[in-house]
């Protein structure tokens, strides 16, 4: 019984280890530290976007605008950083949080469906990003890149640290703060939350603002990786982040789930691309693998839920 509970909670990490072990048996290249670091570097932006997405989904809504906020953030950084690093960092963050705030107000106050609202916002941000920079480019200061991606003994420590901190902060906020509890309650049913004296509008708006903010951080990091700004770089992030959140055990309708599962799913998703690349399988197969993995995991979980239900009856 206890083992079942532990497996239920950590299945995504068990799966991750299984995949890693199989991969390292298949190809010796996977056993190198540099591969692990690449996975971390590519996982970090998705993990950040997925943190915001995770909060939004837990609260029972969805955010499709994360990808173009991320793209816009890299563009703004690539334009402003050459003059002033401080502005180059803070402007994208403010903008991301601001856009998220507008999403949140529209969803909570005006009661626009979050799918529609963030879908529209996605197009708007994409357009603005392309107006500013219709082709990847711009200038990112080497010092900034070096700070984020500097390798000591082939290990880029900063992304790893940031990833760990993000994981801890995400889990802590969800499990140990009033804000986190309120998110779960709202995602379960906002009428209950409202009647329990929770300020539903405030929490919803904050959640969307955080989602915009984390997408913008992801953009700042990616701009260092690319050493440029690209308005379309975030195209796959909305669906990838939703995939990671759902794969990690959060229910799409809200109220149930956590962040550590999401991080595990992010690591698996980014590993797959690396592994297929190293083994020499056509890269398009990763899409098929991602899709199938998501479906299989959700199907297994629903099977478990169904068995529980029948036991009760």
Partner 1 sequence: MGEILRVDNISKSFPGVQALSKINTFFSEGEICALVGENGAGKSTLVYILMGAIRPDKGKVFVKGNEVDITGVHKAKGYGIGAVFQDPSLINHMSVAENIFLGEQGKFRNNGILSYSKIFKAAEQILNDLKVEIDVRQLAVLLSPAQRKLIEFAKMMRDDPKVIILDEITAALDYESVDKLFEIIRSKRDEGKSVIFISHRLKEVFEIADTALVLKEGKMVQKLEVKDITEEGLVNLMMGRKLSEVFPKKISVGAKENKVTYSIRNLTIKGKLENINLDIAQGEIVALAGLRGHGQSELLKAVFGQVPKNSGKIFINNKEVIVSNPVKAKMKNIAFISNRREDELCFTHSIRRNIALSSLSKRQKGGFIMQGKEKQEVSDISVKMNIIAPSMTTEVNNLSGGNKQKVVFSKWLLTLPDLLLCDEPAEGLDMGAKSEVYHILRRLANEGKSILLVLSDMIEILNLPDRVVVLREGKIVKEFSIIGSEESEILEKEILKASVGVT
Q: What is the DSSP string of 20-42?
A: HHHHHHH-GGGGSHHHHHHHHHH
Beta carbon of residue 181, minimum distance to partner 1 (angstroms, whole number): 6
Within positions 227 to 286, which residues make up the interface with partner 1, using CB under 8 A? 255-256
Closer of 176 and 306 to partner 1 (Cβ): 176
Tell me how far the alpha carbon of residue 198 is from its chain's centroid.
26
Q: Which helix (H) or strand (E) holds 285?
A: helix 285-312
- Number of residues engaging partner 1 in binding (CB under 8 A): 24
157, exposed or middle or buried, with CB in 10 Å at 0-12, 13-18, 19+? middle
Query: Please, what is the minimum distance in Å from the beta carbon of residue 111 to partner 1?
Result: 16
Q: Does 313 bind partner 1 (CB under 8 A)?
A: yes
CB of 253 to partner 1, least distance (A): 11
With vertex at residue 38, the alpha carbon angle to CA 34 and CA 39, rounded to the nearest 5 degrees, is: 120
Q: What track of x and - describes contact with partner 1 for positions 159 through 178 (by CB under 8 A)?
A: -----------------xxx
Binding string, 175-204, against partner 1, x = CB under 8 A? -xxxx-xx-xx--xx-xxxxxxxxx-----
| Cβ neighbours of 305 (radius 10 Å) | 11
Residue 133: φ, ψ to 5°: -145, 100
Q: Among residue numbers 93 through 152, which ones bind partner 1 (CB under 8 A)?
A: none
Q: How far apart are CA 312 and CA 308, in angstroms?
A: 6
Contact 117, 98 (CB under 8 A): no
> Between residues 23 and 200, which has the closer beta carbon with respect to partner 1?
200
Q: Which of 50, 203 has the CB closer to partner 1? A: 203
Site for partner 1, rule CB under 8 A: 176-179, 181-182, 184-185, 188-189, 191-199, 255-256, 311-313
């Amino acid at each position: 019984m206890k083992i079942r509970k532990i497996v239920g909670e950590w299945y995504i990490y068990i799966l991750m280890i299984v995949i890693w072990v199989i991969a390292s048996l298949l190809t010796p290249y996977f056993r190198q530290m540099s591969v692990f670091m690449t996975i971390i570097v590519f996982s970090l932006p998705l993990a950040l976007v997925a943190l915001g997405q995770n909060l939004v989904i837990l609260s029972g809504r969805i955010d499709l605008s994360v990808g173009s906020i991320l793209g816009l953030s890299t563009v703004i950084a690539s334009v402003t950083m050459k003059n002033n690093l401080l502005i180059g960092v803070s402007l994208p963050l403010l903008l991301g949080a601001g856009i998220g705030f507008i999403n949140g107000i529209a969803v909570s106050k005006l009661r626009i469906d979050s799918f529609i609202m963030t879908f529209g916002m996605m197009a708007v941000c994409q357009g603005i990003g392309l107006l500013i920079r219709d082709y990847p480019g711009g200038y990112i200061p080497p010092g900034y890149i070096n700070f984020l991606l500097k390798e000591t003994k082939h290990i880029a420590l900063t992304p790893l640290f940031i990833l760990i901190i993000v994981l801890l902060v995400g889990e802590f906020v969800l499990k140990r703060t009033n804000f986190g509890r309120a998110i779960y309650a709202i995602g379960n049913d906002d009428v209950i939350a409202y009647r329990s004296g929770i300020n539903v509008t405030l929490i919803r708006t904050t959640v969307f603002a955080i989602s915009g903010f984390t997408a913008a951080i992801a953009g700042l990091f990616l701009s260092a990786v690319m050493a440029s700004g690209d308005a379309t770089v975030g195209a796959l992030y909305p669906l990838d982040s939703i995939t990671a959140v759902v794969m990690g055990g959060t229910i799409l309708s809200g109220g149930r789930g956590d962040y550590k599962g999401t991080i595990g799913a992010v690591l698996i998703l980014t590993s797959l691309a690396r592994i297929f690349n190293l083994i020499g399988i056509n890269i398009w197969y990763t899409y098929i693998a991602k899709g199938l993995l998501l479906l299989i995991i959700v199907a297994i979980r629903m099977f478990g839920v169904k068995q529980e239900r029948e036991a009760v009856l």
